[in-house]
A and B are shown apart, each in its own frame.
Chain A
Amino acid sequence: MSGKAISYGRIWDFAIPKTVDESRRWVLSAMQSHGQGLVTMLWRILGNEQDVCDAYQNTFLRLAHYEGRGKPEHIKAYIFRSASNMAISMLRRRTAERKRLSATAATRGRATDKDASSPANELDSKYLQETLRRCIAQLPEYLRNAITLRDLAELSYAQIGRILGISPGTARVYRCKAIQLLAVWMNKERQKKD
């Protein structure tokens, strides 16, 4: 009798990991189907390979531990939104760090950051990208999501609408407003340098 119980116990022990395994397979499937788009979007937001890998890892880790190991209803929406938010947080941290460093350098009497040093660099692509990244990080969340998903993740307005829970028309309006705001801010940055 006790032998039978032990054997059942062993079967049960083997069965549990297998079912858990099966139930979490969707994480790998999500990685397979959305990984490429996600990496492209993260690369465009962050522009640094190690940061991309970190944000990507955190996104899937968060997905794997979603609300007590459940499965989100719209996986794509969840992945893209959390990755975008994570990347923007990283970008903000990076900007703050850079500001702090340049402030320290200024107090020590050294020259400030090279890429923001002169307006002559305006046509320099690196300067343009960094300015845009800084400005995107400052946008309110609803506008930031629209421009990130449309321009950096290259999703259609219909897809953005589904992800953000708004109509495609609203997504289009948000993106337009984001461009206007970014234009104003980038202009101000340029004037500051002048």
Chain B
Amino acid sequence: MKSKNTNNKCRQIRAWLHKTISSRLGLDADWVQNHIGKCPRCQRRIVSAGRVNLALSVMKSQPHKLDLLMRANTQAIGVLKHSLRRAPKACKLKAMLPKPKLLERCGKYAHPAANAAACIAILLLMKIGVFSSMDKFQTEGQKVVKQYYASHVGQEMADEIFTA
């Protein structure tokens, strides 16, 4: 129990440290931005690093043909042992196409899921609203009837009727 608490505290401190350091020493910190604005050397360095990142992004954004995995598998299996080449798994691999990642696969369901969640939320809110209004109507109605009885037969009698 004690170690669990210590772990949580450690985690909190680590998170706090990371947040503080990145806010004070990160590239977005005010004093860093002010310095970069004045220093041509830092500007050059940032531009160079940006160029590398741009080149990496360009490299990543270039798609390969859909059948490249299939072709690579076929070529690689072709040089393996005969017994492996004839295995059922090898045949599957020769026809294998790249599968999108889980996030990408779920991406197309994001919009309908968000719509469904919104509908459920609205229904819940409506249900809560209807029930609370019904309770309110009931208590208000009781009050009115009690007042009517109090004015016609007396307060004591009305109390007796409505407490029973």
Q: Which residues of A contact B (CB under 8 A)?
A: 17, 20-21, 24-25, 27-29, 31-32, 35-36, 39-40, 43-44, 47, 49, 52-54, 56-57, 59-61, 64, 125, 128-129, 131-133, 151-152, 154, 179-180, 182-184, 186-187
Contact = CB atoms under 8 A, between A and B. Distances in A.
A28 B83 contact: no
Interface residues of B, number: 38
21 contacts: A20-B81, A20-B83, A28-B77, A28-B89, A31-B73, A39-B64, A39-B68, A40-B64, A43-B64, A43-B68, A53-B75, A56-B75, A60-B80, A131-B55, A133-B59, A151-B59, A152-B59, A152-B60, A182-B52, A186-B52, A187-B48
Interface residues of A: mostly helix, strand, loop or mixed? helix
Nearest to A55: B72
Given A52-B72, A182-B52, A132 B59 contact: yes
Contacts of A28: 77, 84, 87, 89-90, 93
A183 B52 contact: yes
Contacts of B79: 57, 60-61
A57 to B, nearest CB: 4
Contacts of A133: 59
Given A28-B93, A132-B55, A179-B49, A53 B71 contact: yes
A186 B55 contact: yes
